[in-house]
Amino acid sequence: MTTHFITAEIDLTENPLTLKKDIEERLNQEGKPLRWAITNVDKTQQKAYIESIVTK
């Protein structure tokens, strides 16, 4: 098992009630998330930027 630092973009124009689920689904594509955080939000492009540590 190895750990990897992952960055991801999430579209905020989708349903805000499913934001956590959308983030976790995106990170699960890369491995099993240990922790993640929203580190930046671009209001003009409606994007959230995520940083995460995942295991593979």
Predicted confidence at residue 28, as pLDDT, reads 94
Task: From 17, 16, 18, 25, select the one nearest 8 (Cα to Cα).
Answer: 25
CB 54 within 8 A of CB 31: yes
Is the predicted pLDDT of residue 6 greater than 90, yes or no? Answer: yes
Predicted confidence at residue 17, as pLDDT, reads 87
Residues 15-55: pLDDT tens digits?
Answer: 888 899 999 999 999 999 999 999 999 999 999 999 999 99
Please state, as a whole number, how many other Cβ atoms lie within 10 Å of the Cβ of residue 49. 14
Say what the pTM is.
0.84
Predicted confidence at residue 1, as pLDDT, reads 86
Predicted confidence at residue 41, as pLDDT, reads 96
Domain boundaries, the chain: 3-55
